[in-house]
Every structure is written in structure tokens, then in C-alpha cells.
Structure 1
Amino acid sequence: MVEVAVEELGDVFSGALGEFERYLRVERDRAAHTVRAYVGDVRGLLEYARRAGVSDFGGLDVGVARDWLAEAHAAGQARATLARRTAAVRVFTAFAHRRGWLAKDVGLLLGTPKASRRLPAVLRQGEAAAALDALAGKRAEPEDLRDLAILELLYATGIRVSELCGLDVDDFDHDRRTVRVLGKGRKERVVPVGAPALRAVGDWCLRARPALANEHSGAALFLGSRGKRINATVVRRIVHARLSQVEGLPDLSPHGLRHTAATHLLEGGADLRSVQELLGHASLATTQLYTHISIDRLRQSFQRAHPRA
């Protein structure tokens, strides 16, 4: 639940922000990080409006929203951030209009800055194998087996870090070599898992998880050092730390391993629709980003290898 300071926003805006948060969380069933981001963005807009002398919805027009976004742009905010802020404002103004707070939905008049789509860093196939082989050689502590299972699973399936953290022990079907994943919008999908990742997860569950498990563990597959369900921050730290132990590898996040998995699938001949389904992308356009990565690599190989390149 988001705490809203009444003295900073005034009674009208603070009450509206609280209702907006409940709308996102309960009615729209949005993910917790999305709720935090959208509420934070709208709070920034309302604080800006208050500083500009606007104390109620009668003065909240498209000019105020555009000035707020322009201030963020002048401060050097990334286009992706500006695009998210614009999306948050649009959801909020539509909500406020339906509630009767706004006479018209002023968010419809806002343009959306296109976020730059930089090609993400990925591991080459040999680099991915080197990282996993290096970690497989370190099995002295329960955390070693857990971290190997985490990296193997992220690379094998391309699942999101939030999806990995939400996995339970019984989400795996070892006979069918699949894992059941709860993705964005609480959409469930079944993802195939390769043999090395299944072995790593099996070793973790049989040989190491009991050493960390306690009364707080429940059915969680991956546990932190205190026995509770592991969180995304810890997983990001694990991935960064483990990859840094192999000389010459780029510094990747769990999302970088997701990019790597998608790229290697396409390089291996998987069709775009299958990769879209595996990754849980709502739009094929999102998956198509990875084709650019593969084409870029093909171009580099051509230039290195062809005598008339």
C-alpha cells in the first residue's frame, strides 16, 4: 500500500492518488512494481501541479502535464522513463475522467515519446557455456548449487526474474521436462526446460535446499540465506557476481540472460512465434528485437570470414 502525505498534495490530490493506487492494485491487478512506478509518476505530476498553484482537478489540464514532462526531459530523463510517465498519466487521467473528477480525459492529448530500442548485451554461446561450467565446478556450499540452478534455469528458459522468484517446487514436471510459470498479468504458461537445468534444479532441491529451508520457506523453489523465498534483488546480485568470476564476460543482469536465451534460440533455428510463446511476450514486435541481434552477429561473421566482404 502506498503512503500518501496529505500535507504535500492536499486533501483532493492525496485522496485521488490513494484511490488510483487501489484501482491499479485491486481492479487492474497490476504487478507490484508497476503499481509503485505508476503511483510514483502520478505523484510527481500532482506535486508539480501543486507547485504551479493547482489545488484541484479543475486546474489539471494538458498544459500542466506537458510542462511536467518537459521539465523531466530538460533534466535529462531517458526516453524510456518519459514514455512510462506518459503512460502512467494517461491511465490516471482516464481513471479520473471516469470518476467524474476531470471534465475530459486530458491524457488523450499527450504524445508518447518513443523509447530507444538499443540492442541488449548478450553472451555468445561459448561464453554462456563457460560461465555455467565454471559455476558447476563450485559445489562446496548450498548457495553454489542454488546459484548454478538459478543461472541454468534463466538461460535455459528465458523466464523473467520475477517469474523465477515466484516458482514453487511443484511447478516442475521432471518427466515432461517443463516448468509452469506465472507471467505478467497472471498469465500462466508452460515452458520446456533443458536437461542441464533440470539436473541443476534437482541437485539444488535434493542436496542443498534442505540446508536453507525453515518454517518460513513454504513451497518456494529458491531460498535466500534466511530460508525465505528469494527476491529479485538477490537474484540480480547473484547473476552479476557469478558472471564476474569468469574473465572476459560482459556484466549482465538476469534480463541479459533472458536476452541471451532468446538470441540463441533464434540462432539455432527456432521460429519467432515459438520464441514469443516461450518468453511470454504479448506482442510479436517485442520478440522481433532479437532478430536484429542475430542479423547483426551474422553480418559481423560475414565481414570477418568472407574474402570479398
Structure 2
Amino acid sequence: MTPLPLGLREPLEGFLRHLALGRGRSEHTVRAYEGDLASMLQSAQRDGALELVDIDLATLRRWLGRQSEAKLARATLARRTAAVRSFMAWAVREGMIEVDPSLRLASPKRQSALPDVLHQEQTRRLLDGLAQAAGHGDPVAVRDWALAELLYATGIRVSELVGLDIDDADLHARTVRVLGKGNKQRTVPFGAPAANAVVRWLGARSALVTQDSGSALFLGRRGGRLGQRQARETVDAALKSLGDTAASGPHALRHTAATHLLDGGADLRSVQELLGHSSLATTQLYTHVSVERLRSSYLQAHPRA
């Protein structure tokens, strides 16, 4: 990859610092923005741009056309276009450019694919299976049961789960204090099954504790804080063992928790607060999931469907 000229590299670095320090974005999010914006700036450089002021709407359209020719998914194109719009809007506010060339840039709409969720019976089998495995006393099995129960009970993200410390879980009040996106903190309730699993895990946790454990609630096999990859692999394996679902990864339990809450009558605003969504539009996706589940049940059960 050709190095960017100073007139393009410095604004990019400034925007990434703004995301990390000014907006509190995670390291993962900042890296994603860097990759998306670098693709646009490299394309602009190929067209002769040396500074941001050299980038106009035609430059951006050529970049987007090249992305389309590379057969990138529509969701990827939409994400990259959104990143460019954020970058250009910031550059205008910072006085680097006078006119935002991305304002008239159209991008493909994302496909509205509904997330895979578990039915209540599948969720019961999943958690019962993990509880049964934990009954043999293996501390890792106890941990896996507790983390799955907590993910489903609260709907928190896997990044939020692995970031929990012991003091973040109030077992008396059955709440957990979560640090979400943008360093926003929220308190999420959970039920008795999750509380029982966490209590069992806290009793088994000492078997994995090392000098690297610190105050982390969930630990890996070597005693350090459990990583996102380990948590994903754990949930993936448990979901695959069901044999009758396409759902995968910890986010499936987040989707499932949200859908079951709405199926049970929870209002949309409450679910938004529990999930830590900044926009209600994000939470509204789960209303479509619930409608689809209702439609499926109707078609199977109604004699004149």
C-alpha cells in the first residue's frame, strides 16, 4: 500500500485521535474507521489528491465505484460511506475544508437481514446443557454456564461481559454495572437462574486464579481476564451442540434476550435502555424479529392461514 501524502495522512490521524480521545471510541472501532477511511484516501491519492481540499464528489464517487467493482458487500459499502461522511463533517468543523463533498454521496442500502434468535425451548436446552456440564465440578464448565446465563439474562455485549469486574455484579440486588460503547455506564438487572450460576462460578473461580487475575469476573484457563475470542468460541460450541439453529456467537444471545423481552410484553424504550442502544431505531429491529416469529407461528397453527 502506497504511503499517504502528509496532506491526507495528518487529517486522518487527527480524526482517529478525535474518535479515541474526544468520542471515547474503543480501539477496535478506531481501527475499523482507519481501514475504511484509508481505502478512500488511497483511492483519492490515485486520482491525484494530495490534500483534503483536492477531494470532491467525483473523487468519492470513483472510490465508491471501485469498491463496488471489488464485489464488496452492500453492508460494507454502507459502513465505509458512513465513515467517510463522519470524517468529512469533522474536517469541516475543524476548518480543514469549507464544503463537505460527501453530502451528496449516495451509498447502497444495507440488506435488512433479521438476526437469528433461539426459541425459548432452544434457550432452555442450551442453558440446561451447560448447567449439566457444570455439575461435574470443572471450573471452566461452571464459568461457561455462568457467562451464558448472564449473556442471555442481560443481553449485554460480549465486550461488556469480559470487561466486568467482580464488584460490578450485585448479587443481592441482581444487577450488573456495565461499561458500554462510548464509555457509557448502565445498570442491567438479571434473574435468579443467572444469579445462581454466577454464585457457583465465584465459588469455582479460585481454581483458576493467578497473579494476573486481578478483579476480573470471568477468567480464562490460564487465569487472566477472559478474552472476547474465548467467550465467542465457548458460546459458538454450545449453540452448535443444539443441532437445530443457525444462531452463532454471543450476539445471538443478545438478539435472543431482546426478542424474548419484547415477546413477553416489554416496551421498546426499556429494551433500548437494557441493551445500551443510543438510537431507538436500532432496538426497533427486534420488533420485526418478533413479528416474523408471530407470523411463523400463525402460519403453522391457524387452520385458514
What interval of TM-score do these two structures reach, taking the shorter chain for normalisation?
A: over 0.9
CA deviations over 1:40-87 (Å, ceiling 9, x no partner):
111111111222222223321121112111211222222221121111
What displacement does 1:129 show? 0.4
The code of the aligned residue for 2:263 comes to E
Q: Which residue of 2 aligns with 1:153?
A: 150
For residue 201 of structure 1, give the secondary structure of its aligned residue in structure 2. helix
For residue 9 of structure 1, give the secondary structure of its aligned residue in structure 2. coil
Segment drifting more, 77-86 vs 118-127: 77-86
What does residue range 42-57 of structure 1 map to in structure 2 within 5 Å?
42-57=37-52
What displacement does 1:108 show? 2.1
TM-score computed with the length of structure 2 as normaliser = 0.93
Specify which of 289, 294, 305 is matched with residue 298 of structure 1: 294
Aligned residues: 303
Q: In 1, are the aligned partners of 2:164 and 2:218 still within 8 Å (CA)?
A: yes
Q: Which residue of 2 aligns with 1:30?
A: 25
Q: Which residue of 1 aligns with 2:91?
A: 96
What displacement does 1:169 show? 0.5
Unaligned 5+ segments in structure 2 are: none
What displacement does 1:112 show? 4.4
Q: In 1, are the aligned partners of 2:75 and 2:110 still within 8 Å (CA)?
A: yes
Specify which of 8, 12, 20 is matched with residue 3 of structure 2: 8
Using the alignment, how far apart are the partners of 1:18 and 1:290 within structure 2? 37
The code of the aligned residue for 2:151 comes to L
Q: In 1, are the aligned partners of 2:179 and 2:185 still within 8 Å (CA)?
A: yes
For residue 130 of structure 1, give the secondary structure of its aligned residue in structure 2. helix
The code of the aligned residue for 2:229 comes to T
Using the alignment, how far apart are the partners of 1:71 and 1:48 within structure 2? 8
Q: In 2, are the aligned partners of 1:69 and 1:82 still within 8 Å (CA)?
A: yes
Using the alignment, how far apart are the partners of 1:244 and 1:103 within structure 2? 53
Specify which of 123, 126, 131 is matched with residue 131 of structure 1: 126
The code of the aligned residue for 1:191 comes to V
Q: In 1, are the aligned partners of 2:240 and 2:248 still within 8 Å (CA)?
A: no
What displacement does 1:121 show? 0.6
Q: Which residue of 1 aligns with 2:115?
A: 120
CA spacing shift, 1:95–1:296, aligned 2, 3 Å: closer
The code of the aligned residue for 1:119 comes to L
Q: CA RMSD in A?
A: 1.7
Using the alignment, how far apart are the partners of 1:24 and 1:31 within structure 2? 8
Q: In 2, are the aligned partners of 1:134 and 1:246 still within 8 Å (CA)?
A: no
Using the alignment, how far apart are the partners of 1:250 and 1:118 within structure 2? 13
TM-score computed with the length of structure 1 as normaliser = 0.92
Segment drifting more, 299-308 vs 178-187: 299-308
Using the alignment, how far apart are the partners of 1:103 and 1:247 within structure 2? 57
Q: Which residue of 2 aligns with 1:222?
A: 218
Using the alignment, how far apart are the partners of 2:270 and 2:20 within structure 1? 31
Q: Which residue of 1 aligns with 2:139?
A: 142
CA deviations over 1:209-230 (Å, ceiling 9, x no partner):
2122222221111112222222
Using the alignment, how far apart are the partners of 2:247 and 2:265 within structure 1? 26
Q: Which residue of 2 aligns with 1:241?
A: 237
Using the alignment, how far apart are the partners of 2:276 and 2:239 within structure 1? 25
Using the alignment, how far apart are the partners of 1:59 and 1:23 within structure 2? 22
Using the alignment, how far apart are the partners of 2:243 and 2:145 within structure 1? 17
1:72 aligns with 2:60: no
**Identity in percent:** 53
For residue 202 of structure 1, give the secondary structure of its aligned residue in structure 2. helix
The code of the aligned residue for 2:273 comes to E
Q: In 1, are the aligned partners of 2:259 and 2:290 still within 8 Å (CA)?
A: yes
Using the alignment, how far apart are the partners of 1:59 and 1:108 within structure 2? 16
Using the alignment, how far apart are the partners of 1:185 and 1:191 within structure 2? 17
Using the alignment, how far apart are the partners of 1:89 and 1:300 within structure 2? 40
The code of the aligned residue for 1:58 comes to V
What displacement does 1:291 show? 1.7
Runs of 4+ in 1 over 6 A off after TM superposition: none
What displacement does 1:31 show? 2.0
Unaligned 5+ segments in structure 1 are: none
The code of the aligned residue for 2:240 comes to S
The code of the aligned residue for 1:69 comes to L
